[in-house]
């Protein structure tokens, strides 16, 4: 039994590291628990009195490793290699972008006067001008007017939260009123719209005018952008995820979360188990 403790310890470390990537709420604590239990068993085993039988020297006069000792060291070495194999890529993905300048930059959408109060505008822009067309994105932007002295905007990503298809406004678009704003990040196209919600053509998800999911397989509301006003221009910041929105416009109560992945629920038991999908 004592020989299994190092193996369990190594498995616990691997489960912990994998859990930190795929599910920090369920799998990572499970890995932590396995690691702790195995470590306790291991410490208890190694704290016992050593065997009364002395280790016999072999014919060459050198002491031999016992089989359990060899197994223990091999397990530790193997566990360490697996842990490194998991940890190094994770650390690389977390740290490298800041060295390579890959952090998301604010996107200038043009002067706030280009967004009439109370109306939706579909803004199409390049999230990363250096990456070119591949970084083209669309956002639904509504000017909610002033709250005190501060402008309020609702800015939602058009990307469906199911598997990422571009949603469309349910209602007329006015392409003949299209405006092209020349900004520091390139041209931004602004097309007025009068949506009665937004729909996804891929699998039929529907969202209301605040981005709440009303039908279909999407697991949460439309993601939103943080924003700021810089020199009279509307500037997009980071994306974040939303489970639900109560109320509308500047008075809305938004339940927000760090950005989730495609198909990832923001709340509830399914979000704890993600990405483990229940059998269908």
Q: Which residues make up the interface to ligand FES (CB under 6 A)? A: 160, 162-163, 165, 200, 202-205, 216-218
Least distance between ligand FES and beta carbon 261 (Å): 13
Strand 253-257 with 233-246, pairing: antiparallel
> Using CA atoms, how far apart are residues 129 and 140, in angstroms rounded to an integer?
20
Torsional sign, CA 78, 79, 83, 84: negative
Least distance between ligand FES and beta carbon 221 (Å): 13
Q: Which residues of 241-267 are buried (b: 16+ CB within 10 A; e: fewer)?
A: bbbbbeeebbebebebbeebeebbbbe
Q: Which is nearer to ligand FES, 175 or 201 (CB)?
A: 201
Q: Which is nearer to ligand FES, 205 or 235 (CB)?
A: 205
> Using CA atoms, how far apart are residues 56 and 234, in angstroms rounded to an integer?
79
Sheet containing 168-169: order of strands: 168-169, 198-199, 206-207, 213-215
Least distance between ligand FES and beta carbon 48 (Å): 58
Least distance between ligand FES and beta carbon 158 (Å): 11
Q: Which is nearer to ligand FES, 97 or 204 (CB)?
A: 204
Least distance between ligand FES and beta carbon 238 (Å): 22
Least distance between ligand FES and beta carbon 201 (Å): 8
Least distance between ligand FES and beta carbon 218 (Å): 5
Q: Which is nearer to ligand FES, 246 or 262 (CB)?
A: 262
Tokens standing for residue 54: 């002395």
Q: Which is nearer to ligand FES, 202 or 273 (CB)?
A: 202
DSSP assignment letter at 250: G
Nearest to residue 155, comparing CAs of 125, 186, 187? Answer: 125
Least distance between ligand FES and beta carbon 266 (Å): 16
Tokens standing for residue 211: 């981005």
Q: Which is nearer to ligand FES, 188 or 200 (CB)?
A: 200
> Using CA atoms, how far apart are residues 206 and 204, in angstroms rounded to an integer?
6
Query: Count H helices, E strands: the chain?
Result: 4, 13
Q: Which is nearer to ligand FES, 177 or 214 (CB)?
A: 214
| DSSP-based three-state secondary structure for 166 | strand
Q: Which is nearer to ligand FES, 169 or 249 (CB)?
A: 169
Contact residues for 181 (Cβ-Cβ < 8 A; gap 6+): 109, 110, 111, 114, 187, 188, 190
Distance of CA 35 to the CA centre of its chain: 26
């Amino acid at each position: 039994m004592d020989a299994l403790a190092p193996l369990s310890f190594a498995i616990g470390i691997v489960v912990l590291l994998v859990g930190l990537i795929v599910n920090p709420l369920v799998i990572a604590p499970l890995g932590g628990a396995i690691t702790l239990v195995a470590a306790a068993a291991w410490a208890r085993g190694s704290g016992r009195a050593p065997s009364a039988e002395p280790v016999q020297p072999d014919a060459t006069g050198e002491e031999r490793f016992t089989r359990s000792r060899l197994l223990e060291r091999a397990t530790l070495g193997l566990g360490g290699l697996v842990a490194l194999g998991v940890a190094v890529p994770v650390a690389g993905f977390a740290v490298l972008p800041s060295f390579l300048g890959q952090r998301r930059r604010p996107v200038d959408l043009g002067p706030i006067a280009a967004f009439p109060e109370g109306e939706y505008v579909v803004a199409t822009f390049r999230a990363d001008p250096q990456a070119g067309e591949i970084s083209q994105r669309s956002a639904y932007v509504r000017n909610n007017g002033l709250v005190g002295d501060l402008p309020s905007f609702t800015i939602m990503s058009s990307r469906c939260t199911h598997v990422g298809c571009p949603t469309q406004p349910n209602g007329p678009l006015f392409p003949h009123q299209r405006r092209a704003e020349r900004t520091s990040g390139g041209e931004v196209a602004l097309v007025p719209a009068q949506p009665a919600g937004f729909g996804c053509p891929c699998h039929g998800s529907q969202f209301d005018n605040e981005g709440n999911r009303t039908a279909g397989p999407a697991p949460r509301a439309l993601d939103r952008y943080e924003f700021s006003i810089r020199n009279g221009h509307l500037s997009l910041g980071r994306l974040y995820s939303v489970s639900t929105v109560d109320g509308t416009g500047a008075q809305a109560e938004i339940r927000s979360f760090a950005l989730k992945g495609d198909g990832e629920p923001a709340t509830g038991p399914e979000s704890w188990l993600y990405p483990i999908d229940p059998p269908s």
